[in-house]
Amino acid sequence: MTKNSVFKTFKKKLLGNNENTSRHVIFIVFFIIYVVMCVYYLYPLFWTLSNSLKSVEEYYDSTLALPKTWDFGYYVKIFTTFRVGEAGFWTMAVNSFWLAFGSQILNLLASAMLAYPLARYNFPGKNFLYGVIVFRITIPIIGGSAAGYKLIRALNMLNNPLPYSLTWFMGFDMSALIMYGYFKGISKEYSEAAYMDGATRLQTLLTVVLPQAIPCIIALYISNVMGRWNQYSESMLYLTKFPNLAYGLYLFQDEVLFVEGGTPMFYGAIILSAIVPIVLFMVGQKTMLLNMSVGGLKG
Amino acid sequence: MADRFSNGNFLSRQIGKLKTHIKKKYNMEDRQAFGFCYLMVILPVITFCVFWLYLNIDSVFLAFQDGDGNFTLDNFKQIWTAFVAEDKYGFNLWDMLLQSWLFWIICRFCWVVQTLSTYILYKRIPGHYIFRTIFMIPSVLGGIVWTLIMKSFVAADGPILQWVNMMGIEVSLDVQMKGFLNAIESAVPTLLLIQVLPAIFQFSFVLSGAFARIGDEMFEVGKLEGIGFIREFITISIPLVWPTIIITIIGWFSSIFTQDNGAFLYTNGKHGTASVGFYLFYLAKSITDEGGKAGLYGYPSALGVLFTAITVPIVMVTRHFLEKVHADVSY
């Protein structure tokens, strides 16, 4: 393809075929803004990565310059030097894994257990439960953290991950509302046919409905895990002895000047802790785009 | 009356009546379906009752209790003191409210651009896939990673200050020494800017999903009518995704006091950057740091009760009016 034809295709895509002036102007303005914004979003990442590859001396010489040599030495040191209390990098990474991936398995299981009957059956109390989900999403109850700490402490769940995981099994949230919409949209014909063939209600759910809802479940799972991966509050408030990478970074930022590798190594730790959500986003972007939508609140 | 209730058979008689009523009203098939539904929802409902319902009811009681569990209004008096002077941590509640509202108002203006931006990306501007991927970076990286990157970016040895110096723009010695976030004159605008900018063009999956559900025929009709891009956006697309927008707008009002706890990571509330969202998290962390001493629960709970009491009517009224703007749509 010649340069000219590439330009023509781009122009056609940007301006469209018809003469819609407002669209042309808006698209051109936004295209320019988008390019500027891309620099705003990407440059800090690039800058952090670039400085993580410098030696401490090189970093303090100039934080703007590119690294003279790409030195991955500090990345190796992160595994031994990036520590919070007794937890090293790998311990924090494992904590991040179960806090993010584990919590969302329980959360989505609870959301599905709640959303499925609400979407597919008529039973006394159905509207009330749906109302509770909407109430919880829309009505703000502020400042429950003090009572939350008191309750978690009273139940001996502080720094006790297994019992603490019960708090994730709630489901009255946006995931339940999204699943509700998705389950409602799945045709009832297949499940009715399965039921007529002698399948139990649970079998119908597991073998007919759930496989059809997998795209939605995967989209929610990826989106929620991404949100959870770098969440520090749970580790900071309730699971202080199980720091995840996010909490580790929060604590470590005040110590960077006192450890070997200093700031460049800290930047390396930031980059490493961002890998999992970036990979998840790359893998799940399309699934999330196609399967996440909320209809309305009326049920 | 007392005899009626003291009679052990009363309860079983009532349960019997209820059973007969259910048997008459619903057939075996229905009753089995109900049993299945209740079995499915029972565990989430129990967890919800313990970790949300009980927790929030307890929060209300805690607001009116001192450290020994006796009734008191001291927690609310402390709030008043924090409004007119300072609390024991040195924060003024009125200043924090103003900071929260400032951030909230700026974010709401940005939302208009964000919605239009999501729509333009949905309409496949050239490079839309790359743009929307890049615009998701702050959300993908999560609060802590993006915060630490941006914090370094505006620090004394960060690139922004170096560029400012290169361009010959004069900044105070305080900024030169401490960076933009740690100098009192620049902390608030810097924090607002680095928190708000990522929000402006952030791509919304939920909104984009709602746009994607609009059938092409809707736009074809618009084209035949000869309407422009902005009119198409306002008169066709917005009404059709209105239910999703309602949820978004209600979400705004729900988080009017809690949205911005970014100050916790960026400045720890120093240099006038403290907001209510920051403060509530700061108080929760103080409880953890002090090992959950009995006297620490009342004040944050009282604050929660006060802000909930202010926010709930706002949300209810907003929802009521929003649902009247456009009828609920299905397409």
Residues A31 and A46 grouped into a single domain: yes
How many domains, in total, are found in chain A?
Answer: 2
Asked whether A270 and A252 are in contact (CB, 8 A), the reply is: no
Residues in Cβ contact with B226 at an 8 Å cutoff, skipping those fewer than 6 apart: none
- The reply to whether A37 and A97 lie within a common domain is no
Place of tokens 């004069």: B170
Q: Please check whether residues A161 and A227 belong to one and the same domain.
A: yes
The answer, for A190 touching chain B at a CB cutoff of 8 Å, is: no
| A114-118, A238-242, B6-10, B258-262: the lowest-pLDDT one | B6-10
Confirm or reject contact between A106 and chain B (CB < 8 A): no
Please tell me which residue, B221 or B180, carries the higher pLDDT value.
B180
| A-chain residues near B253 (CB < 8 A) | 140
Q: What is the pLDDT of residue B207?
A: 82
Is A174 part of a structural domain of the chain? yes
Question: How many C-beta atoms lie closer than 10 Å to residue A8's C-beta?
Answer: 12
Residues of B (274-303) whose Cβ lies below 8 Å from A:
280-281, 283-285, 287-288, 292, 296-298, 300-301, 303
Q: Is the ipTM reported for this complex over the cut 0.90?
A: no
Do A234 and A103 lie in one domain? The reply is yes
Q: Is B117 on the interface with A (CB under 8 A)?
A: yes
What share of chain B in percent tops pLDDT 70?
Answer: 95
For residue B295, list chain A residues with Cβ-Cβ distance below 8 A.
Answer: none
Domain boundary among A35, A51, A78: A78
Q: Give the mean model confidence (pLDDT) for residues B286-314.
A: 89
Q: Does one domain contain both A125 and A194? A: yes
Query: Would an 8 Å CB–CB cutoff place B312 in contact with chain A?
Result: yes
Closest to B36 (Cα-Cα) out of A129, A191, A201, A198: A201
CA distance, residue A181 to nearest chain B CA (Å): 12
Residues A271 and A233 occupy one common structural domain: yes
> Is A299 within the bounds of a domain?
no
In a domain, A297, yes or no: no
Residue A276 lies in a domain: yes
pLDDT digits (tens, 9 = 90+) for B115-153: 888 899 888 889 988 998 888 888 888 778 888 999 999
Per-residue confidence (pLDDT) for residue A299, from 0 to 100:
46
Q: Is residue A296 part of a domain?
A: no
Together in a domain, A7 and A137: no
Does residue B253 carry a pLDDT above 90? Answer: no
- Do the chains contact at B304 and A170, CB–CB below 8 Å? no
* Chain B residues with CB-CB distance to A140 below 8 A: 253-258, 307-308, 311-312, 315
Whether residue A172 lies inside any domain: the answer is: yes
pLDDT tier for residue A192 given thresholds of 50, 70 and 90: confident
Q: Are residues A70 and A87 in the same domain?
A: no
Residue A161's pLDDT is: 94
Q: Which of B113, B140, B225 to mutate to test binding with chain A, by most A CBs within 10 Å of its CB?
A: B140
Question: Which residue, A43, A78, A113, sits at the end of a domain?
Answer: A78
Average pLDDT over residues A227-237: 89
Domain presence at residue A217: yes
What pLDDT sits at residue A283? Answer: 87
Which member of A27, A129, A274 has the closest CB to residue B41? A129
Residue A6: per-residue pLDDT:
65
What's the rounded Cα separation, in Å, for the pair A88 and A103?
A: 22
Considering chain A, what percentage of its residues have pLDDT values greater than 70? 90
Q: What is the pLDDT of residue B1?
A: 46
> Which conformational region is residue A66 in: left (phi greater than 0), alpha (psi within -120 to 50 degrees), or beta?
beta
Question: How high is the pLDDT of residue A130?
Answer: 94
Is A128 an interface residue toward B (CB < 8 Å)?
no
**B158 vs A38: CA distance, rounded Å:** 19
Instruction: Name the domain boundary from A78, A97, A132.
Output: A78
Give yes or no for a contact between A144 and A256, defined as CB atoms under 8 angstroms apart.
Answer: no
What's the pLDDT band for A17 if we cut at 50, 70, 90? Answer: low
Residues A150 and A180 grouped into a single domain: yes
**pLDDT single digits (tens) A21-50:** 778 888 899 999 999 999 998 999 999 999
User: Is the same domain home to A94 and A182?
Assistant: yes
pLDDT at A294 over 70: no
User: Per-residue b/e over A80-98, b at no fewer than 16 CB within 10 Å?
Assistant: ebbbbeebbbebbbebbee
Query: Do the domain assignments include residue A283?
Result: yes
Query: By three-state DSSP, how is residue A84 classified?
Result: strand
Q: What confidence category does residue A1 fall into, taking pLDDT thresholds of 50, 70 and 90?
A: low
Residue of A142, A192, A286 to mutate when probing chain B, most B C-beta within 10 A: A142
Interchain pair A223, B205: CB under 8 A: yes
Cα angle for residues A230, A231, A233 (degrees, 5° grid): 150
* Domain interval for residue A54: 3-78
Name the more confident of A142 and B310: B310
Number of neighbouring beta carbons within 10 Å of residue A298:
10
Which residues in B lie closer than 8 A to residue A201 (C-beta atoms)?
32-33, 36
Show the DSSP H helices in chain B as ranges. Answer: 2-6, 9-25, 28-48, 55-63, 74-84, 93-122, 128-135, 137-153, 159-166, 173-178, 187-200, 205-212, 216-225, 229-231, 238-240, 242-254, 262-266, 276-289, 298-325
Cα torsion A189, A129, A122, B242: sign: negative
| Cβ-based contacts of A142 with chain B (< 8 Å) | 257-258, 280, 303-304, 307-308, 311
Query: What domains can be seen in chain B, in order of their start residue?
Result: 2-63 (no CATH), 90-325 (1.10.3720.10)
What CATH number is given to the structural domain containing A199? 1.10.3720.10
Report pLDDT digits (tens) over A73-122. Answer: 888 888 888 888 888 999 999 999 999 999 999 999 999 999 999 999 99
> Is-contact B261 B275, C-beta < 8 A?
yes
Query: What's the confidence (pLDDT) of residue A19?
Result: 52
Please determine, for residue B4, whether its predicted confidence score (pLDDT) is greater than 70. Answer: no
A72 and A49 within one domain: yes
- Residue A6 pairs in a beta bridge with none
Q: Which residue has the tokens 């003279």?
A: A68
Residue pLDDT, tens place only, A129-172 = 999 998 888 777 777 889 999 999 999 999 999 999 999 998 89
Q: pLDDT tens digit string along B183-206?
A: 999 999 999 888 888 777 777 777
Query: B225: pLDDT confidence band, cut at 50, 70 and 90?
Result: confident
List of chain B residues whose C-beta atoms are within 8 Å of the C-beta of residue A132: 48
Computed over every residue of chain B, the mean pLDDT equals: 86
Same domain membership, residue A175 and residue A62: no
The band of A238, judged by pLDDT with boundaries at 50, 70 and 90, is very high
- Of A42, A44, A50, A45, nearest in space to A71 by CA: A50
Burial (CB count <10 Å: 0-12, 13-18, 19+), residue B27: exposed
Query: Which residues, other chains included, contact A127 with Cβ-Cβ below 8 Å and sequence gap of 6+?
Result: A299
